[in-house]
Amino acid sequence: MKDEELKNKTESELESEIKKWKGISGAIIGVSLVLMVVIIYGMITKGSNTLDINLLGVAFACFASVSALNSYIKKIKIELSSRKNNS
């Protein structure tokens, strides 16, 4: 989202955006952790195969997307703090 779009939103809308994106981040982390545990358990019990290794890559890619979400959340927090300082 562009900085201009953040400036056009109210403080309550920005706070709800933060809550929404934190929830999505938490869900991605939770699903990725479950996926990793299941894959590692399968690799230990059945041995590793290419599908397990590929799914492990997917789990790590999901963790990478969380960092992008966190940077967006940080932009929203900066916008909120700049509004509070200007008030």
Residue 8 has pLDDT above 90, yes or no: no
Domain extent for 53? 15-86
The number of beta carbons lying within 10 Å of the beta carbon of residue 47 is 8
Instruction: Name which of 60, 62, 78 is nearest 18 in CA terms.
Output: 78
Sign for the pseudo-dihedral over CA of 26, 32, 71, 2: negative
Report pLDDT digits (tens) over 41-84. 888 898 878 888 888 889 889 988 999 999 999 999 999 999 88
| Residue 1 is assigned to a structural domain of this protein | no
DSSP-derived 3-state class of residue 2: coil
Is residue 42 a contact partner of residue 52, using CB atoms and an 8 Å limit? yes
| Residue 3 is assigned to a structural domain of this protein | no
User: How many domains, in total, are found in the chain?
Assistant: 1
| Residue 53 is assigned to a structural domain of this protein | yes
| Residue 6 is assigned to a structural domain of this protein | no
Residue 34 has pLDDT above 80, yes or no: yes
Res. 1 pLDDT band, cuts 50 70 90: low
Sign for the pseudo-dihedral over CA of 16, 19, 22, 28: negative
